[in-house]
Amino acid sequence: MDSNKYQELVYRDVQDGNNLGVTATPTIFVNGTKVEASQDYNAIKAAIEAALSATQ
């Protein structure tokens, strides 16, 4: 636990999360777009359906 072996990797992950607007876990992204109500099944489903319909 005293090793700093993963310190830089963890720091980069935290920075990536901050840059993407992650403020809690879980945070869900669909095609790079953050699902604002990411703990709501219907919000996740709607985001996935919208992403799928955009590709057709």
The pTM for the full model equals: 0.71
pLDDT digits 0-9 by tens, 4-43: 899 999 999 999 999 999 999 899 999 999 998 878 999 9
* pLDDT higher than 70, residue 1: no
- Give residue limits of the domains in the chain: 25-56
SS (HEC) of 17-53: HHHHCCCCCCCCEECCEECCCCCCHHHHHHHHHHHHH
Contacts of 29 (CB under 8 A, 6+ apart): 20, 35
Q: Which of 9, 8, 38 is nearest to 24 (CA)?
A: 38
